[in-house]
Amino acid sequence: MSEHYPALLVILPLLASFFISAAGWFRPVLCFPFTVAGLAGSLLVSLGLLGDVMSGGPVSYRFAGWDPPWGIYYRVDHLNALVLAVVSVVGFINLLAARSSVEKEFPEKAGPFYTLYVLFMTGLLGMVVTGDAFNLYVLLEIAAITGYALIALGKGRAPLSSLHYIFMGTIGASFYLLGVGYLYIVTGSLNMEDIARLLPPLYESKVVTAAFVILMVGVWLKMGFFPLHAWLPNAYTHAPSPVSSLVAPLMTKVMVYVMIRMVVTVFTLDFAFTFLGLNDAVVWLAVVAIVMGSLLALSEKDVKRMLTYIVVAEVGYMVGGFWLGNSAGFTGAVLHILNDALMTLCLFLAVGNIVHVKGNSRMESLPGLFRTMPWTMAALVVGALSIIGVPPTCGFFSKWYLLLGALEAGHYGFLAALLFSSLVSVVLFFRIFEVGYFEPLGGSHGSAHGDDEHVVREAPLGMLVPLWITALGLILVGLYTGEIVGRVIRHAVPAMML
């Protein structure tokens, strides 16, 4: 059975979506169990794949039994095996936390909600596992369409933000497709490794350069790389909590993976780094992204909205780390895909709990929260420490690798941006801690709400347990960083960077 893992990974959630959809019409109570079954299946398969890749090297799968350039081909190596595990773990944990919110906010729409949830996961997993440039586009469309719909489900301005996201996202996806089309015109192939084999004699061609530029811009647009991030804060802020804690940790990270995959496997580092020589310019763009993301986060009064700008800054970390072009930078970027997915999940889940209890996540609702919601706030502290980069949380280690990479490349601008953004995070989160811990509940009038102050009003257990699994995961991943880097990421580093 294990030779079918790459297919099962995508097929199990896809098949689950039909059962969820049908259950939504006949027996809505079954929707959630079907969703859990589908995603648990793909979680187990992705862990199995990671094990297979770690012990036996890359795994491949030929769909419909056709050989690579003619049929569609999946290939799992150390890089995407790790990202697959991250995506399926995050999606599964968030699903467990989503149940209470769904029952509270839109119980009658649970069927279509869970259907789109698993389809979104199908799209993301497929994008990561595929070895075919066009197949990646189709799965990108699935993840995008379901993502738009889930975001538009929020209240107030959510549909408008989602519409804005649709426009920008569609442009990004079209740019990606255009890039793939240009590559097809000059190589006649859609298979990633086949394109890489055919490209070297064509480096001089203007078509390849144009394809590269357009494709990169498209991917950057989808990941919200500054200054192409304009759609991101609104879309992620107005989305319902279970959706923002699904989309925010995963979509940007998967797009960073797509960027790495396209540069490393399709265009090859020879072309992107040596022939075009773009690396320095892109790292500077990343510097701007980190600085601007941090500054914009500083000006926000809503915790959830602040987090979305932190996501923008974190995208800068990963893009910059990769384009530094050395082994430490690459390790940092890939490790940060893992860490940032968990950190963002932890923070968005914590904010989701606050919204669940308080109705919003503005600074004014924070006073006294350490007393009334101790568990949620404690997890928020763990997530915040990880974003700041305090050992032993995992955020410290990826930042450490990124700093090493910046030093090795002699790129002091990136180094400074990393330190600056860490300092800004300290300010951001300690402001939240201060308000939550020291400011009395109910403002200056004190006694009016005095009785409420010591009553614990926590989010339901179904939301707390996933949050704490994530928070503990942050520390565990931090402690096992050496293992992860040594046994997985080191094998993913392209030979040219060693």
Partner 1 sequence: MKILGLVIVALVGSVLIYATVDFPPFADPESPASLHVSPRYIEKSLDETAVPNVVTAVLADYRSFDTMFETTVIFAAGVACFLLLRIPRRRPPGPRHFRHRLTGLTFRVKDGENGKEIFLPLREFEPVDSVWTPHDFIIEKVCRYMIPFIQLFGLYVIAHGHHSPGGGFQGGVILGAAIILLSVSHNLRTALKRMREKTGALCSALGVFIFAGTGALCLALGYNYLDYRALAALLPGGPIMARSHGMLLVEIGVGVAVMGTMVWIFKNLASLGRYDEGL
Residues that bind partner 1 (CB under 8 A): 4, 7, 11, 14-15, 17-18, 21-22, 25, 61-66, 69-72, 108-109, 112-113, 115-116, 119, 122, 126, 132, 134-135, 138-139, 141-142, 145-146, 148-149, 152-153, 159, 178, 182, 184-190, 198, 205-207, 209-211, 213-214
Q: Is the CB of 25 or the CB of 444 nearer to partner 1?
A: 25
Q: What is the DSSP letter of 385?
A: H
Residue 377 structure tokens: 């706030």
Return the closest-CA partner of residue 75 out of 117, 33, 133, 25: 133
- Strands 59-62, 73-76: parallel, antiparallel or unpaired by DSSP? antiparallel
Taking the complex as a whole, the smallest distance from the CB of residue 133 to partner 1 amounts, in Å, to 11
The least CB distance from residue 33 to partner 1, in Å, is 17
The least CB distance from residue 239 to partner 1, in Å, is 13
Residue appearing with tokens 């090493």: 404
Which residue number, 132 or 300, has a Cβ lying nearer to partner 1? 132
Distance in angstroms (rounded) separating the CA atoms of residues 8 and 12: 6
Least distance between partner 1 and beta carbon 246 (Å)? 15
In the complex with partner 1, the residue whose CB is nearer, 21 or 481, is 21
- Minimum distance between the CB of residue 460 and partner 1, rounded to whole angstroms? 24
Q: Which is nearer to partner 1, 141 or 453 (CB)?
A: 141
Task: Write the Ramachandran bin of 65: left for phi over 0, alpha for psi from -120 to 50, otherwise beta.
Answer: left
Give the C-alpha separation, 347 to 308, whole Å.
Answer: 10
Our separate counts of H helices and E strands in the chain read 21, 2
- Closest CB to partner 1 among residues 37, 416: 37
- Nearer to partner 1 by Cβ, of 224 and 473: the residue is 224
Cβ proximity to partner 1, 114 vs 397, nearer residue: 114
3-34: b or e for each residue (b if 16 or more CB lie within 10 Å)? eebbebbbbbbbbbbebbbebbeeebebbbeb
Residue type, 31: C
Shortest gap between Cβ of 154 and partner 1 (angstroms)? 11
Minimum separation from the CB atom of position 221 to partner 1 (A)? 12
Nearer to partner 1, 147 or 395 (CB): 147
User: Which of 374-393 are b and which e, b meaning 16 or more Cβ less than 10 Å from the residue's Cβ?
Assistant: ebbbebbbbbbbbbbbbbeb
Q: How far is the CB of 65 from partner 1 (least distance, A)?
A: 4
Least Cβ distance, residue 306 to partner 1 (angstroms): 26
Could you tell me the two tokens for 313? 């800054």
Closer residue to partner 1 in complex, CB, 167/412: 167
The count of C-alpha atoms lying within 13 angstroms of the C-alpha of 217, restricted to the half-sphere facing its C-beta, is: 12
**Residues 6+ away with beta carbon under 8 Å from 497:** 269, 325, 326, 327, 330
Which of 387, 409, 401 shows the shortest CA–CA distance to 293? 387
Q: Are 332 and 260 in contact (CB under 8 A)?
A: no
